[in-house]
Amino acid sequence: MRIALLGDSICAGYGVRPDKAWATMLAKALEYGLHNDGINGSTAREGLLRLPALLETRPNLLYVQFGLNDAWMELPESEYIQTMDRILRESLKEKARKVILGTNHLVYVTEEQIRAGGTAYPEKVRHFNAALRALLSPPDPRLILADIEAWTADLDVVEQASLLQWDGVHLSEEGNAFYFQRLEPVFRDILDQSAT
């Protein structure tokens, strides 16, 4: 079984020790080879350009997560969703492949940032996430949603902030542990089903 991640700095583990990154913890827990194609600062469009080379490694299970950089750069939602749709369609051409689509976690905005008009970025992330969910209608059994926004929305503001580094965007060690704790059962369930 080959597993691959396609994403941005959230997959790459930006700002934490490699052994504290959720992708590293996931690879160790699953005991499968895991190819991590998470690149800091990457947009969905850049991920689409990298996708053919990644698919040549023939992963059976692919995790895809983009959007934080697209939202920060204020790229149009229509462009972002069209690109994500292409990534998913290309990834699912191989009938035996399953894809986990991750929404983006909530980004933290301080009161000072709000006073400076800083609410647009978090709202754009929410809009992008809503549009991602719409891509799963009608549902495809090979496409699994990991609704990270919903998982983080269940937390209070202090807990949400603890998941993030000082910039309010990148995952802290606690945030990486949170991702691992929530995503590991999703991966394991798919792998167990594939083994039967």
Given a cut of 90, whether residue 192 has pLDDT beyond it is no
89 CB neighbour count, 10 Å cutoff = 10
The band of 169, judged by pLDDT with boundaries at 50, 70 and 90, is very high
- The alpha carbon of residue 123 and the mean position of all alpha carbons in its chain are separated, in whole angstroms, by 17
Q: 3-state SS string over 15-68?
A: CCCHHHCHHHHHHHHHCCCEEEEECCCCCHHHHHHHHHHHHCCCCCEEEEECCH
What global pTM score does this model have? 0.94
Structurally, the chain folds into a number of domains equal to 1
CATH of the domain at 99: 3.40.50.1110
pLDDT for 150: 95
Domain encompassing residue 54: 3-195
Return the percentage of the chain with pLDDT > 70, whole number: 93
